[in-house]
Amino acid sequence: MTYANNQTMALWKAFMPRRNEIKNRVNEDLISMQVYPESFSFSNFDINAPFEKWAAAEVSSFDSIPDEMECFTLGAGLYAVFEYKGLNTNTSIFQYIFGTWLPASDYVLDQRQHFEILGSKYKNNDPESEEEIWIPIKLK
């Protein structure tokens, strides 16, 4: 998808009724993951640049994957973790991360997956919702 043609709602609408088919889940958390190609740029952001979006759950084994679902192994590495409270449609946290925090830090983005953990305090479209935002980083 692209940010201009954001299909996140459709993705989750298709995933949520089937999430309980996933065996070997390690917890009830859900994961919203973005896989950006190497050409994707946050500093020269293009709303039409394509990327992959996944609705996922962490499992202890890939032994029993439901039909029409795929396995994904998350790459290991260092992540900056941000605790966010607010509406999931508010992009100011990402503007802060990429526009303020990252440039002032000792880190640069690493070419790995970005994801959000939607735990028990996550409430879609609720200003009291809480989630963790994981951004892959490496030392400058």
Give domain status of residue 45, yes or no.
yes
Range of the domain at 109: 8-139
Residue range 94-139, pLDDT digits in tens: 999 999 999 999 999 999 999 999 999 999 999 999 999 999 999 9
Which CATH number do you get for residue 97?
A: 3.20.80.10
Contact 112, 136 (CB under 8 A): yes
Q: What is the mean pLDDT of the chain?
A: 96
Burial class (CB in 10 A: 0-12, 13-18, 19+), 35: middle
| Residue whose entry in the numeric block shows the structure tokens 């002032």 | 104
User: Is residue 1 included in any domain, yes or no?
Assistant: no
DSSP annotation of 100: I
The count of structural domains within the chain is 1
